[in-house]
Amino acid sequence: MAATAAPGGAPAADGAPGDGVPYAVELRGITKRFPGVVANRDIELRVRRGEVHAIVGENGAGKSTLMKTLYGMHRPDEGTILLDGRETTLRSPADAIAAGIGMVHQHFMLADNFTVLENIVLGSEPTRRGRLDRAEARRRILDISDRYALNLDPDVLVEDLGVGDRQRVEIAKVLYRGATTLILDEPTAVLVPQEVDELFGNLAELKREGLTVMFISHKLDEVRKVADSITVIRRGTTVGTADPKTTTARQLAELMVGSELPSPETRTSTVREAAVLQLDGVTVAALTGRPAVDDVALTVREGEVVGIAGVEGNGQAELVEAIMGLRALTAGSIAFAGQDVSGWSTRARREGGIGFIPEDRHRQGMLLEAPLWENRILGHQTRPPAVKGPFIDRRSARADTERIMSEYDVRAPGPDTLAHALSGGNQQKLIIGREMSAAPKLLIAAHPTRGVDVGAQSAIWELLKDARAEGLGILLISADLDELIGLSDTLHVMLRGRLVATLDPASLTPEELGGHMTGAHDGSVGAA
Amino acid sequence: MTKAAALLLAGSLALAACASDEESSSASGGSGGSGGGEDLKIGLAFDTGGRGDQSFNDSAVAGVEAAIEELGGEVQELSPNDDASNRGELLTQLAEAGYNPVIAVGFNYDEVIAEVAPQFPDTTFAQVDGSNADGAKGDNVTGLLFAEEQGSFLAGVAAALKTETNNVGFVGGVESPLIEKFQAGFAAGAEAVNPDVEVQVQYLSPAGDFSGFGDPQKGKLVAQGMYQNGADIVFHAAGGSGEGVFEAAVEAGKRAIGVDSDQYLTAPADQQAVIMTSMLKRVDNAVQAFIKAYAEGEVEGATDVTNDLSTGGVGLSTSGGYIDDIADQIEEFEQQILDGEITVPTTP
Amino acid sequence: MTALRRLGTSLAAPALAVVVALVITTLVIVLIGQNPLTALQVLVDFGDTPAQQTQAIVVILNRAVPLFLAGLAVSVAFRMGLFNIGVEGQYRMATVVAAGVGAAVVLPGPLHVLLIMVVAMAVGALWAGIVAVLKVTRGVSEVISSIMLNFIALGTASFLLTGPLRGSPEGASIITTERLPASAQFPALNGLFGALGLAQPRGQLFGFLLVAVVVGIVVSVLLKRTRFGFDLRATGLSPSAATASGIDARRMVVKTMLISGAIAGLIGLPDLLGRTYSFGTEFTAGLGFLGIAVALLGRNSPLGIAFAALLFAFLDRAAVPLQFADIPASVVTIIQGTIVLSVVIANEVSRQVTKRRAGRQSGQATPPAADATGPAGTRIDARQEAGA
């Protein structure tokens, strides 16, 4: 079945597909309202027992609300939930667990200094005469581990585990509580490709054992790889189902966004002669061991996007902070628009015309508990329109926030809305709008589309492209290889604090780039 | 951070409230029984610590009660708030409500009584531990003073006669002129017996910080130090902190001298064994005498009533009988003071 | 969310807290065998004669002024996430030095008062500045260092009082600094009662009330309307975001502590310039700690702190009449303690409610931290938290 504009298949009256076996999960006409907003409307969802069912949609489309409904975290205003054909009311996650539904959260909820065994049994400990029955727990965990090929060692401390292992612990935790339907919320967001493959292997095992998996994602390639069927959510409602075998990623994406998809590719070079940023021998000390940033030299010219690729934790964050004056240099110099700014304060650099999109917008980019107009001021405290002399110009700040909201499509009730009420994409668009409003000469963009849905992502790409065409120099740090290859004019690879390769994005595949990032091709292509 | 702090704070406020709750019990006379118009209506304003401090506040209460027993009447007691910022209000409201006489307990009333008393010329005031010999506080204020240095001198004599290590200690609550009188007298008395005796002196808190009168832990710590440094008798003039001094004495197997009231009588058995004597400061007698004088119309105002050895206002207690064997020698010194042969210094 | 609704939410919390505190206090009063209605009556009974009633107002305002200043001093630091527990020491040092300097110089009236205020603010700022310097250069927690400095202030003030600044005669039982001359005394505001056609109270209304109002307005404008205030609040909301925005966190710590300390320096002045005219051993202590409670109750906003200070003062006034009614004065302390505790809890609850409501407004029920998801496309992460 190809992508259709309506829920696929004629709904059987008894909640069963054609073969007579009831659906493991069926939602009929689920509507959930929050004051002033309908988060879910007429949701129709049918999940067969023993399949991997993907739910895709943009951020803010209502996936999370739906999953919370299914996990008993709140009750729908309308509609019914059928589990194995029986109408069920879920009042709490405990009800959901009792009904065999388990949730693997995107952010792991594990205690680092406990062992795998302790984490798994935490909350449902088998006891013998009031004491934790370790032997029994171990037996059951090893049993689960064997059956689903989770490969767990019960006695390892969780803090010693990698991300993929932790995720398997989470899965085991859910299975340990007897779940037969697993909800995985964005499970691949935190994984590297090899781990993603392993996860998909585990999902296959779960499926083989007859468990049902609901897989929330917006990584369409993955969804097509792993899912047996797909339901697409857009603007709070289910807009269709799709068969992954016959649907392309592009078709899916268009179903998700409801429009043609953008691509990050930039067409013509707009690189000019004048350099806006020149790093020379930039070195930043780490707390211990070798420097976090080691002898980095690079140049960003007007109208140029310089990309930095690299596995996270290889010094990109430190490099960005050094350029922004948030971290001291141990050696080297930073020149901005021909001036040595190594000794400048962060504020002086920002005033001079460096815009900054931090990688963690909650930590460095926003005041979550402040209204949007105050967030408009953040980082621009010394420049109009936000200020007049030593005073804050509230009216202008509000007006300019409204301008940004309309120009950059920030969806929020108004400038007095608190920042944490916005979705990630809208927060990010506000940050970009704010930084662009000051007409910077250089933009340091760290993961500008991280955690942003497809619609916002394309909007951000367009913004960056336009700014580049107008002569803005951009230093782009990203983990999204398509983004890096598509946007960059020049691409550097960062490994262990050093720039180990300079690549031409015009003739580069994500696979090749990935190889450089892990050091497989270290220095093979024109070292910097 | 702020939340934790708030909880801490609220907790401590509540604790403080509970703590002071025990101390400030209700007025004993009560406003209900107004009785005949002739009856005395005595106003009693405490200093910080209030009722139940087992020290001068309680002693004043005892004096008032004894007076009521004898003369009839009622009393309204008022305690100041925690930071004692409303002392003036206490006196004012007592006077406004028609209480007469109004007795303020403690030298901390020095300034406010000088402000309030002139506003109520028809009310008779008295201040325990405050002087009004020059009439600066108004014509209607009488100072009830004590020759603490004389009593302390005798305590020093007793200590010097009893010490086996030739080393005695003095623990003062707050380093203020009043407590320095105790120190001066004690040191002079000890040296009068034996010029070579070593007198260790320590105060628990500096002037302006009244925590030294209510910090038994610190009292114990300081006394422990003195015993370790060779003292075998420690005299305290530290109010509630004295409890700690006694504990230290029990633990060290040494002796201590109490203050204000006969502390032997209120101490538990293990401490009774170490309280050699107490330097008595008969606030009760002074207050009772003042009320009696007032009832008989003999209060002149703008004067001081000094309670010293000659009036029995200060002295040594003999409960426990630990100093019976040196009674003669103590009496000798007492006589010399009474005869004016010895003038006890009031400052160290 | 409408402004009205937000106002409602922000007022609901303290109001609820007061109610809860009253309920608890009622229970306590019943438990000790007294009539809570009597207590309530005493609280609101300002006296029989007009003069007594205005006097009660004077007592309340005179108590509220230093409490307000103390709350303000604490709140300024709170707003940027600093816990200035050292207000106590700061005002003690400020008052003793200001009293000494004020008595030592001769100046015409307003100038003399002004000099004393400047000296007090400078000393308070300096004392708080030590905390700031220790924090930015050595990383010492301001809580620890300011507690320690409170002890040092006690000792130092005592040394100054008994030593170089001693003005009282040898042998006087209260040691004080030399009395301030008339030119340094802040005139009382009692003319106000006459102007308003009210009875003249017995006591004097602190003229310093005016200074407190001005300071409150200045602080309010500073926090809400100025760049500096924005930087201060931003640092309090998110130090990392503030730093990334170009705010020099260290400099902010120093500046904020200096301001907090300068305001703290004023706490003792209403008494010094309006009543005692000298600093002595019996000078009111503990206002710095009460200021923390007042700041919490007032939710760190100048207007809220003004209300909180008045509420505390209103309750404090009842301490004396309660004793006349045979109810222990500590009931007042219990009410104050429970109010503060309830406010903290109620604030937290209302913050959660506001947050949840805001979350629903935009139709995004996910918690804000849960959307750091990856972008569509190939992506390689070393670790979940790497580089964060």
Q: Tell me the pLDDT tens digit for each residue of A397-437.
A: 899 999 988 888 888 888 888 888 787 778 888 998 898 88
pLDDT tens digit sequence for A75-86: 888 888 888 888
Candidates B2, B110, B207; nearest CB to C158? B207
Is residue C163 scored above 50 in pLDDT? yes
Q: Residue C79 and residue C236: Cα distance in Å, rounded?
A: 6
pLDDT tens digit sequence for A52-75: 999 887 666 778 788 888 888 888
B233 shares a domain with B326? yes
Residue C263 to chain A, least CA–CA distance (Å):
21
The predicted complex's ipTM stands at 0.77
Is residue C68 scored above 90 in pLDDT? yes
Under an 8 A CB cutoff, do B21 and C328 touch?
Answer: yes
If DSSP codes are grouped into helix, strand and coil, which group holds residue A523? coil
pLDDT tens digit sequence for A93-102: 888 888 888 8
A6-20, A121-135, A229-243, C153-167, range with greatest mean pLDDT = C153-167
Q: Are C98 and C116 in contact (CB under 8 A)?
A: yes
If DSSP codes are grouped into helix, strand and coil, which group holds residue B97? coil
- Best C353, C354, C355, C373 member to test A by mutation, with max A CBs in 10 Å, is C373
Structure tokens at A270: 């707009």
How many domains does chain B contain in total? 2
The torsion angle over the Cα atoms of residues C91, C96, C99 and C102, rounded to 10 degrees, is: -90
B271 shares a domain with B167? yes
Query: What angle is formed at CA B280 by the lines to CA B274 and CA B284, rounded to 5 degrees?
Result: 130
Residue A517 to chain C, least CA–CA distance (Å):
9
B210 shares a domain with B68? no
| pLDDT given for residue A4 in this prediction | 44
- What type of residue is B12? S
Q: What is the mean pLDDT of residues C71-87?
A: 93
Q: What percent of chain C has pLDDT over 90?
A: 39
Is residue A36 scored above 60 in pLDDT? no
Within 179-238 of A, beta carbons closer than 8 Å to C belong to 186, 188-193, 218-220, 236
| pLDDT given for residue A519 in this prediction | 66
Q: Residue A419 and residue A283: Cα distance in Å, rounded?
A: 35
pLDDT tens digit sequence for A336-385: 888 888 888 888 999 888 999 988 888 888 888 888 999 998 888 888 77
- What type of residue is A58? E
Question: How much is the mean pLDDT over chain A?
Answer: 81
Within 273-312 of A, beta carbons closer than 8 Å to C belong to 311-312
Is residue A418 less than 8 Å (CB to CB) from chain C? yes
The CATH classification number of A48-74+89-257 equals 3.40.50.300
Under an 8 A CB cutoff, do A188 and C378 touch?
Answer: no
Contacts of C2 (CB under 8 A, 6+ apart): none
Chain A partners within 8 Å of C229 (Cβ)? 392
**What string of DSSP letters covers C147-175?**
HHHHHHHHHHHHHHHHTTTB-SPTT-SS-
Closest CA to B103 of B281, B286, B311: B286
Looking up residue B180, the CATH number of its domain turns out to be 3.40.50.2300
| pLDDT given for residue B15 in this prediction | 46
B325 shares a domain with B253? yes
Cβ-based burial of B331 (10 A; exposed 0-12, middle 13-18, buried ≥19): exposed
* Domain assignment of residue B139, yes or no: yes
B301 shares a domain with B161? no
| pLDDT given for residue B207 in this prediction | 82
Q: What is the mean pLDDT of residues A173-187?
A: 86
Residue C214 to chain B, least CA–CA distance (Å):
24
B91 shares a domain with B77? yes
B12 to chain C: closest CA residue: C337
pLDDT tens digit sequence for C331-362: 888 888 888 888 888 777 777 776 666 555 44
B173 shares a domain with B131? no
| pLDDT given for residue B18 in this prediction | 43
pLDDT tens digit sequence for A139-155: 888 888 888 888 888 88
Q: What is the mean pLDDT of residues A33-62?
A: 78
| pLDDT given for residue B36 in this prediction | 39
Helix (H) / strand (E) element for B203: namely strand B198-205
Helix (H) / strand (E) element for A433: namely helix A424-437
| pLDDT given for residue C3 in this prediction | 58
Under an 8 A CB cutoff, do A219 and C377 touch?
Answer: yes
If DSSP codes are grouped into helix, strand and coil, which group holds residue A104? strand
Closest CA to A334 of A382, A298, A386, A384: A298
Contacts of B247-253 spanning 24+ positions with Cβ under 8 A:
B247/B216, B247/B220, B247/B271, B248/B219, B248/B220, B248/B221, B248/B223, B248/B224, B249/B223, B249/B274, B249/B275, B250/B274, B251/B224, B252/B224, B252/B227, B252/B228
Is residue A487 scored above 70 in pLDDT? yes
Question: How much is the mean pLDDT over chain C?
Answer: 84
| pLDDT given for residue B156 in this prediction | 94
Structure tokens at A352: 């001079």
Structure tokens at C207: 């003229």
- For residue A210, CA distances in Å to A204, A207, C193 come to 10, 5, 86
Chain C partners within 8 Å of B108 (Cβ)? 174, 281-282
Closest CA to C73 of C310, C256, C208: C256
Lowest mean pLDDT among A267-276, C53-62, C216-225, C335-344: A267-276
Query: What angle is formed at CA A34 by the lines to CA A28 and CA A40, rounded to 5 degrees?
Result: 30
Under an 8 A CB cutoff, do C319 and B85 touch?
Answer: no
B187 shares a domain with B138? no
The CATH classification number of A275-353+440-517 equals 3.40.50.300
If DSSP codes are grouped into helix, strand and coil, which group holds residue B161? helix
- Residue extents of the structural domains in chain A: 48-74+89-257, 275-353+440-517
Q: Are B106 and B129 in contact (CB under 8 A)?
A: yes
Q: What is the mean pLDDT of residues C250-261?
A: 93
- Cβ burial B24-34 (10 Å sphere, 16+ → b, else e): bbbbbbeeeee
Phi, psi of A32 (to 5 degrees): -130, 120
| pLDDT given for residue B32 in this prediction | 36
Is residue C272 less than 8 Å (CB to CB) from chain B? no
Task: Note down pLDDT in tens along chain B; length 348 residues.
Answer: 444 555 555 555 444 444 444 433 333 333 333 333 467 899 999 987 677 767 778 889 989 999 999 898 899 999 888 777 888 889 998 998 899 899 999 888 988 899 899 989 999 999 998 888 888 888 999 999 999 999 999 999 999 999 999 999 999 998 888 899 999 999 999 999 999 999 999 999 888 788 888 888 999 999 999 999 999 999 999 888 889 999 999 999 999 999 988 889 888 889 999 999 999 999 988 999 999 999 988 888 888 888 988 888 899 998 888 989 998 999 999 999 999 898 999 888
The boundaries of the domain holding residue B121 are 38-146+284-309
Is residue C214 scored above 90 in pLDDT? yes
Q: Residue C375 and residue A359: Cα distance in Å, rounded?
A: 13
If DSSP codes are grouped into helix, strand and coil, which group holds residue A472? coil
Q: Are C129 and C155 in contact (CB under 8 A)?
A: no
| pLDDT given for residue B30 in this prediction | 37
A410 to chain C: closest CA residue: C362
| pLDDT given for residue B165 in this prediction | 93
Q: Residue C10 and residue A58: Cα distance in Å, rounded?
A: 35
Count CB atoms within 10 A of the CB of residue C104: 11
Is residue A8 scored above 60 in pLDDT? no
* Domain assignment of residue B7, yes or no: no
The alpha carbon of C87 is separated from its chain's Cα centroid by a whole number of angstroms, namely 9
Chain C partners within 8 Å of B22 (Cβ)? none
Count CB atoms within 10 A of the CB of residue A96: 25
* Domain assignment of residue B75, yes or no: yes
B253 shares a domain with B155? yes
| pLDDT given for residue C365 in this prediction | 35
Candidates C171, C174, C333; nearest CB to B16? C333
Q: What is the crossing angle of helices C208-225 and C302-317, to 10°?
A: 150
- Residue extents of the structural domains in chain C: 66-215+239-300
